[in-house]
Amino acid sequence: MSDDSRQTQTEAGRGLTHWLSHFLDRLGLRGGGTIREDITEALAQGSGQLADLSAPERAMLSNVLSLRERRVGDVMIPRADIIAVPADATLDELLALFRTAGHSRLPVFDDSLDDPRGMVHIRDFLEFIAGQAKAEPSTGLSEPAFHDLSAVDLTMTLAETKILRPVLYVPPSMPAVDLLVRMQATRTHIALVIDEYGGTDGLVSIEDLIEIVVGDIEDEHDLEEAPTIMPAGEGSFTADARATLEELKDATGIDLSETEIAEDVDTLGGLIVTLAGRVPGQGEVVEGPEGLMFEIIDADQRRVKRLSIHRRATAAQETETAAEPG
């Protein structure tokens, strides 16, 4: 980095510090602590001096201040949910995947996700298709003729097109704010999260990082997500294994956050695998805490996908049922 660049960054940092100091002085929040501590304390106390800020503004400001505490591993899409394409996929297969994936960028791999080769951007894909279609200007016309899509060889593999772009490779312990800065600097909008053994742990997009501050961002192609836990009769529920323990509490009123096993897991799938000591198969039933029973509806060798949740009848309920006249 040049001396001029360092000087520019130093001046920018001083300018931001001066602006924040002035901001605190105007609000009457300037205390003996750091700027971060002063703002954090004012937000936590609901200071009347922040009345000029709307609730969304206060929430965003709080999220910005907490950004440095978040790690890439906290916001990444887990490996099991990554939509990726093999390098030997044909253009026809890539076209079909872009239609269903709902993403403009897809990771590309060779043998598995542990052997990544980069990413393919839908804009580069369309540009390649348009180039292969060989649209030629017609005599006397300023606009080119229609593209001849029959000239496109859809059996060509993605590797042969040479349109792959690089991705970033980052550890799960990397601060989220550092990755955001790196993405801005390299103009690369997705990163693969690599574990200590070199395997792919997950994926993070620049949208995932921005959502930490502003909340969920949905565009016109995003489908409304169904609830992850749904009632399925008296005392029963069906659930996506990715549902969190907090979502379980909201849907059923059962709070597992204080149980010892909850210290090591975040999702129902993680809870069930921990309880069973392995990935249970379809149809298996796993007993859980608080009188819960988990029946596996769908699973593969690597993870549980869907399950049903039931409450075990207590001794009092069984006695009451037995006492009822037949």
Strand partners, 169: 192
Distance CA 14, CA 12 (A): 5
DSSP state, residue 222: P
Distance CA 166, CA 119 (A): 6
**List of domains in the chain:** 3-52 (no CATH), 75-214 (3.10.580.10), 229-315 (3.30.465.10)
Question: In one letter, which amino acid is 34?
Answer: T
Distance CA 317, CA 304 (A): 31
Give the 3-state secondary structure percentages of the chain, helix then strand then coil, rounded to 5. Answer: 45, 20, 35
DSSP state, residue 48: G
Distance CA 229, CA 237 (A): 7
Question: What's the pLDDT tens digit per position in 32-84?
Answer: 556 666 666 666 666 565 566 677 777 777 777 777 788 999 889 889 889 99
Distance CA 136, CA 147 (A): 8
Where is pLDDT greater, at 7 or 66? 66
For 245, residues 6+ apart whose C-beta sits below 8 A from its C-beta are: 256, 257, 262, 265, 266, 267, 268, 271
Quote the pLDDT of residue 10.
Answer: 46
pLDDT(121) > 90: yes
Q: Enter the pTM of the model.
A: 0.61
Pairing of strands 105-109, 85-86: parallel
Pairing of strands 116-121, 190-194: unpaired
Strand partners, 106: 120
The answer to whether 246 and 257 are in contact (CB under 8 A) is yes
Quote the pLDDT of residue 92.
Answer: 94
Buried b (16+ CB within 10 A) or exposed e, 240-249: bbbbbbebbe
Question: What's the pLDDT tens digit per position in 16-40?
Answer: 555 555 655 555 544 555 666 666 6
Q: Among 75, 84, 85, 91, which residue's Cα sits nearest to residue 183? A: 75
Distance CA 47, CA 29 (A): 9
Quote the pLDDT of residue 9.
Answer: 45
Within 10 A of 57 (CB to CB), how many other CB atoms are there? 11
Question: What's the pLDDT tens digit per position in 199-230?
Answer: 999 999 998 888 888 776 665 555 455 568 88
Pairing of strands 200-205, 236-240: unpaired
Distance CA 121, CA 114 (A): 20
Distance CA 53, CA 27 (A): 11
Distance CA 68, CA 175 (A): 6
Distance CA 41, CA 35 (A): 10
Quote the pLDDT of residue 183.
Answer: 94
